[in-house]
Structure 1
């Protein structure tokens, strides 16, 4: 259910980005706005040639001090062969976590939640009695140690149950027959569990639905026009790219899918334009106030679970490419592979959505890799 680490994706992207990219026979559509960033042509080539075996469409936005650019490629719907225009909605996946973190950090600023407050304090009975105290800040930066819920991972089973609505509390508790993965605050493990617990916390301390809180505190505040929490509704409303999953040699349309299984960790529907607006509003302090905003740019000083260094902040990830430090988030659902990244001062921004035919594979996606490498440059040398 969780997206592979952004840092790992970047490392592979840099390797793949070093290879020559052959231009497509039919170049993807692109629309220039004001000055064009110097990386635009490389990104244009990175998304050329769609639809292809690994992806049916792509939308990319570049922004920052060097100008703005929108590029699209492929088919938004392979049945009608309709080309994307760049304003189509898509499932954002774990990018939702950045929105959830923003709500939680606002509530911390208002004193309705405390960074040092515990799940046991706010939601008594949710965690097993033998679990240690888990703090809100540990949910935010993936250091809680809580075990993930149990869900079948087979695509065929999930496809057959794609219209099922899940109870959020039951899903959270479904893995609590297992021991803690590690002592809270000692390691970082990127999973969905902490953010679904945050969804429950948000509802408890506000007395309102998670969806309403996200809408009022983030979507409306950032001026987003085409973003909403899907909840139990399996449809993507309005113009959107269709998502496809390659299964046994056949492309299955997976656009309609109940996202209650991901909820506060992954149910958002959005557009590349809205994600660009969100990034700008967030980084400029219009969504989360200081001093809480600084937590979205701080990686905890702990090792990553399974080895390596921690790479995630509260709601975002930190990556270093092309001699610059970027903060952003990726997200995937079946048929959709997305991401955004920006320097803290917004001098360089990237937003993309790829309709990958195997979006939840454990390997880094080639089209995504080419986009990141072309837009952000090689990995920063230590």
Structure 2
């Protein structure tokens, strides 16, 4: 039986789309499996053990940091399969949907300055973007994945057609246009603010709103209001369709449907943009967690109301950019990311007594199952019981 926090991470986008967090699981004897609070530092021996045996069929490299009360960091695996060189501990990687935490923080920061009204609508900020079929969609609904917009088109599954199309460009504007062409969700209980569905489309539209109100690029605004205040000196965004990871990095690999394992390091992420194209490091993402949770980016009252409050909608687990999970003894706030060749997790307790950041070079980053190394790291970091199988 899988522990509930681990299951929440699986449901939360580590290996695919975000879904509802499962109900609290029970151990065979009926005891709830929950993450315990940490009055002392992390168990370094268990964390070291979690990284042993790399590379293997699932993971070619792993980078991890545990912080809060005590700290630990480690790396394992190889920089690339061809040479077998040791993995770079401070490597840059595709951070996937953890980009949404930056986008959410940016939008909330602009809201605190009066540049964006969270109750303002897409129709107001981007007139003509949505057709008359759509009811008014607010900025807050975009932030909390309750907009009712359907996902836009992609270039195919990453284990097949998507890999073959990895150097093609699909712009955010094209993605949004394809979403709008599908129309809104129809039926009972549908409409803006009525149902939470995790999708990249909401944050793509948020990126467009940022550019409209600031008359500046999303990337520069993110640097100005989030990356720079947090001290994220090694975090960047691709230049449009640039498929490369600039700077030191470990290569990522993708297992294809036909069984081949191919190099997926170079990949055009322009369609993911404000929803998932950020390139970062584990140290920078740890800095983001601390700066954000301490109120150094978004003012605390707004932070609590929007980023640490889940909308009152049945089954909702996501706030503005984060996922909430109640262990029964405390709450963990987290975000996951998955791009071909790269899995990322950032997680922490509200009081920052325990934080976890890792990046795995996973050969099936978008697959249905959680990466075993990631599961071992989370169990060790949050002092979770071993999986009884």
User: Are residues 126 and 331 of structure 1, via their aligned partners in 2, closer, same or farther at CA, if it must alter by over 3 Å?
Assistant: same
Select 2:265's aligned residue among 232, 252, 255: 255
Q: Which residue is equivalent to 1:37?
A: 41
3-state secondary structure, aligned to 1:213: helix
Q: How does 1:341-380 map to 2 (within 5 A)?
A: 341-378=347-384
Q: Which residue is equivalent to 1:53?
A: 57
Q: CA deviation at 1:365?
A: 2.4
1:11 and 1:211 map into 2 onto residues whose CA distance is 39
User: Are residues 11 and 151 of structure 1, via their aligned partners in 2, closer, same or farther at CA, if it must alter by over 3 Å?
Assistant: farther
Q: How many residues align?
A: 353
Q: CA deviation at 1:9?
A: 9.2
Structure 2: state its 5+ residue gaps: 1-12, 29-39
- Please list the CA deviations of residues 162-191 of structure 1 after superposition, one character each: whole Å capped at 9, or x if unmatched: 122222112112122323232111111111
Bigger mean CA offset, 73-82 vs 135-144: 73-82
3-state secondary structure, aligned to 2:202: helix
3-state secondary structure, aligned to 1:352: strand
3-state secondary structure, aligned to 1:229: coil
Select 1:235's aligned residue among 226, 239, 244: 244
1:10 and 1:52 map into 2 onto residues whose CA distance is 32
Note if contact 1:321-1:376 (Cα within 8 Å) is conserved in structure 2. no
User: Are residues 59 and 321 of structure 1, via their aligned partners in 2, closer, same or farther at CA, if it must alter by over 3 Å?
Assistant: farther
1:370 and 1:10 map into 2 onto residues whose CA distance is 21
Q: Which residue is equivalent to 1:102?
A: 105
User: Are residues 92 and 117 of structure 1, via their aligned partners in 2, closer, same or farther at CA, if it must alter by over 3 Å?
Assistant: same
3-state secondary structure, aligned to 1:177: helix
User: Are residues 365 and 311 of structure 1, via their aligned partners in 2, closer, same or farther at CA, if it must alter by over 3 Å?
Assistant: same
Q: CA deviation at 1:154?
A: 2.9
1:360 and 1:130 map into 2 onto residues whose CA distance is 33
Q: Which residue is equivalent to 2:310?
A: 299
2:113 and 2:48 map into 1 onto residues whose CA distance is 44
Q: CA deviation at 1:232?
A: 2.1
Q: Which residue is equivalent to 2:17?
A: 4
- Please list the CA deviations of residues 68-104 of structure 1 after superposition, one character each: whole Å capped at 9, or x if unmatched: 1111111121112122242100000000000000111
